[in-house]
Every structure is written in structure tokens, then in C-alpha cells.
Amino acid sequence: MTATIPQRDGAVEDPPPARAGAWRRLRRDPKGVVGAILLLITIAAGVCAPVLAPYGPAEVHFDAPFQRPGTVGFALGTDDLGRDVLSRVLYGTRASLEVGGLSVLCAVLVGGLLGLVAGYWRGPDAVLSRAGDVVLAFPYFVLGVGLVAIDGGGLVDAAVALGISQVPVMMRVVRAETLRLKESDFVLAARAMHVRPGRILAEHILPNAAAAAIVQATLIMPIAVLGEAVLSFLGLGIRPPAPSLGIMLSDAQQYLSLTAWPGIFPGVALALICFGFNLFGDALRDALDPKTAR
């Protein structure tokens, strides 16, 4: 049993984390390395889109529609309006990452807070858990479509809707960690020393539950990115002429009989983003698993 050491200010020192070697294990995991490389490429492409894109995402070239990849001036070809596919993929990747990041932030802040409250106090637990079950009863995309349709769509509306739909999942993860940690020796010792619940949650439970929340966030991110693409494909996400991978796929399906290139490249970009986050999330989960710690 790990001993706890009382501090001068009345706090209790947490035991050394069992996941101290997580970074070393993550670097040695091929999944983590490949996932990190894919994430770095896609994030760099999105962040540097204004620098890397040869044209504006809405700039049209009516004299050059449906150009094939490799055409001079258009590395990935053009769409039906002569817009550069490479530029639109770069800006669409940026939009997807923005929506995914905002969705994750919403899910982590709201779901994490509710999970801490539900896990530490029995009274709110019953209400919050039942409310979460009600939200989870609706399919993820159906709930997202319904929430976006209320405000009419847009980047922020799509991000908030997708984030809200993932709040119950994050709440369950954090709640489970809080229920486990509040019975730990260092938390029991802090309660015996009459440390305030808010301080226990902030200084003892939250830092130790953060690992599970981070892993869940890496799994929510590809779901949010894919959800944004679906909403934009249905006309409920980012509004044209702003670029979006989902909008590009929706536009390309009308001209598949002529050329498939305008739809292939945004599909590949979407797959790489989701694949990278899934690989990295799986590797991070394995690295932070206490059972694998040595």
C-alpha cells in the first residue's frame, strides 16, 4: 500500500503515477509513431493552408473545369467550377480540424465537469447519469443533425452540436475514474484531514483522471471530423462557398460520371485525419494503461 505524506498546508501528496513511463512506451509503439506522423502532416497542412495553397479556396477558373491531376498550375486538378482541388483540400482540412477541436473542447469541459460532479457526489449522480442515458438513446448523427438544424448550420453550430452529442460519453469516462479515485488512500486521507471537496477534485482527482479524458478526447476528435463532413455533405454544416471536405464530396458526387478526382482527394484527406487520430488514440490508451506499466 502506498503511503501518503501530509503537507504543511494541510494537503496530501499523491502517490507517484503508475504511468510515469507512458511517454517512453508511446514512442516505442509503431501505431503511436505512425499516428503522430499523420497528425503532424494533417495539422501542418491545415495550419499552413494560407501559405501552401496556390489559390484561394473559392477562386474560380471558368476556363479550366475538370482539369486532371498534374495539370500545369493545378497539382490535384480542378472541380466543376475550375476551383483548385489542392487549395480546397488544404482549407477543408483546416475547417475539419477547427470543428473537431471545438467539439472536443466542448465535450471535455462540459462532460469532464459533469463527470467529476457525478462521480464525487451521489445526489447529482442519479440525475446526471439518467440525463446522459437519455442523450445516448439518440444515434450520434441523428442528434447532431437535430441540434444543427435548430440554428441553421455553420462551423460553430456544427462544432457545438457535435460536442454536445459527445458530452455523455466523456461524462461517463470521467465519472468512472472519479468513482475509482475517490476511494484511493490519498483521497481518503485528504477527506480525513477535512480538505474541501473542491480542492480534492482540483488537486487530487482531476490530475489523475486527466489521462483517461485525454485518451477519450483523441477518440472523439475523428468522430467529430467525420460528423462535420456528414453534416456539410447534407448541407447542415459549413456553408458554401467556405471550403469543407464534406461539401467537396457532396459537389463531386454529381460529376462522378465525368471524373472522380474532385471527390477522391477530399476523401483521402478525411481518411488520413481519422486514421491518424485513431492510431494515436489507441497507442496513447495502451501507453497510459496502468496494467502495461513496468
Per-residue pLDDT tens over the stretch 154-196: 778 888 888 888 899 999 999 999 988 888 888 888 888 888 8
Structural contact between residues 235 and 177, judged by C-beta atoms closer than 8 angstroms: no
CA distance 129 to 113: 13
What is the reported pLDDT for 192? 85
First to last CA, the chain: 17
Structural contact between residues 64 and 74, judged by C-beta atoms closer than 8 angstroms: yes
Residue 207: phi and psi, rounded to 5, are -60, -35
What is the reported pLDDT for 289? 67
Question: Residue 269: is it exposed, middle or buried by C-beta count within 10 angstroms (0-12/13-18/19+)?
Answer: buried
Q: What is the mean pLDDT of the chain?
A: 83
Using alpha carbons only, what angle is made at residue 171 by residues 198 and 174, rounded to the nearest 5 degrees? 60
CA distance 227 to 237: 9
pLDDT band at 251 (very low <50, low <70, confident <90, very high): confident
Looking at the domain covering 42-292, what would its CATH class be?
mainly alpha
Give me the helix-helix angle, 112-120 and 122-136, nearest 10°: 140
What is the reported pLDDT for 185? 83
Structural contact between residues 91 and 53, judged by C-beta atoms closer than 8 angstroms: yes
What is the reported pLDDT for 104? 92
> What is the dihedral sign for C-alpha 150, 151, 152, 157?
negative
CA 227 to each of CA 94, 139, 160, 290: distance values in angstroms, whole numbers, following the listed order: 15, 12, 12, 32
262: which residues sit within 8 A by CB, 6+ positions away? 66, 77, 78, 79, 80, 85, 248, 251, 252, 255
pLDDT band at 8 (very low <50, low <70, confident <90, very high): very low
